[in-house]
């Protein structure tokens, strides 16, 4: 029995990419201006959660781990997301802070790949962001012991009810919850082109603190 007996054949799925280019002559000297431009394009084009990014970490066995998280801030200082500090991802980051990020903006036939080092953001920054979250999401941060095994869904719902009873008004940020900032040392921009001759520009941080731009073969 083959998967293709029951599903569409992925080998037959093809799409040609046209309409956009990525040329050195139009590329800024640092990557954050281009990232901002592409991020704004993704937001304007109405894609689903343009701030979604795949976060890759390294597990204790040396194998890669991936999951989707949400970008909550970015600047020339790096890319920020928030999570439970007791989760598997946080433990992996604290042990091996080298991480990867992948933004897939498929409507625009674009990808951005980030390699960098993650570290925890200052507590006041976490608390300021946490205060902007919906009340239900704040309670969920207290209710979920992320990555721990659960006997069933009912036990999670019961933890949520206990959190709601404990915090009927303002909800403080849990001590085990906070942000990470990924400071990049390399950012690659990928633009789909016709006939699979895609554009790839890699920004790599130089020892001087600037950025070196190189075109890569597709």
Q: What is the pLDDT of residue 93?
A: 98
What are the binding residues?
14-17, 67-72, 82-83, 89, 111, 129, 133, 137, 146-147, 190, 196-198, 200
Active site (catalytic) residues? 196
Q: How far is CA 175 from CA 16, 43, 86, 138, 193, in A?
A: 49, 32, 10, 12, 47
What are the binding residues for substrate?
14-17, 72, 129, 133, 137, 196-198
Look-up of token digits 């802070």: 97
Residues 6+ apart with CB under 8 A from 143: 156, 159, 160, 162, 163
Domains located in the chain, CATH noted: 17-134+175-215 (2.30.110.10)
Tell me the β-bridge partners of 171.
Answer: none
Main-chain dihedrals φ then ψ at residue 139, nearest 5 degrees = -65, -40
Tens-digit pLDDT profile for residues 129-169:
999 999 999 999 999 988 888 789 998 999 999 999 999 99
Question: 62: left (phi > 0), else alpha (psi -120 to 50), else beta?
Answer: left
pLDDT, mean of each 10-residue run, the chain (218 residues): 66 74 91 98 93 98 97 98 97 98 96 99 98 97 87 91 96 98 98 91 94 96
Tell me the β-bridge partners of 203.
Answer: 187, 213
Mean pLDDT of the chain: 93
Written as six digits, the tokens of 193 are: 């082109």
What are the binding residues for FMN?
67-72, 82-83, 89, 111, 146-147, 190, 200
Element (DSSP H or E) covering residue 190: strand 177-191
């Amino acid at each position: 029995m083959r998967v293709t007996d029951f599903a569409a054949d992925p080998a037959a799925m093809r799409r040609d990419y046209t309409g956009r280019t990525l040329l050195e002559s139009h590329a800024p000297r640092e990557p954050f201006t281009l990232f901002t431009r592409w991020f704004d394009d993704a937001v304007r084009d109405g894609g689903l959660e343009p701030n979604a990014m795949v976060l890759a970490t390294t597990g204790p066995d040396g194998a890669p781990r991936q999951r989707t998280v949400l970008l909550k801030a970015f600047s020339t200082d790096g890319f920020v997301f928030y999570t439970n500090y007791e989760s598997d991802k946080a433990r992996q980051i604290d042990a091996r802070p080298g991480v990867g990020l992948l933004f897939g903006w498929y409507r625009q036939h674009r990808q951005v790949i980030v390699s960098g080092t993650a570290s925890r953001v200052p507590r006041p920054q976490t608390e300021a962001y946490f205060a902007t979250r919906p009340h239900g999401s704040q309670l969920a941060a207290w209710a979920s012991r992320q990555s721990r095994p659960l006997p069933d869904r009912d036990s999670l719902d019961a933890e949520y009810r206990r959190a709601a009873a404990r915090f009927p008004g303002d909800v403080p940020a849990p001590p085990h919850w906070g942000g990470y900032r990924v400071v990049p040392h390399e950012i690659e921009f990928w633009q789909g082109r016709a006939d699979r001759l895609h554009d790839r520009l890699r920004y790599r941080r130089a020892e001087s603190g600037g950025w070196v731009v190189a075109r890569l073969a597709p």
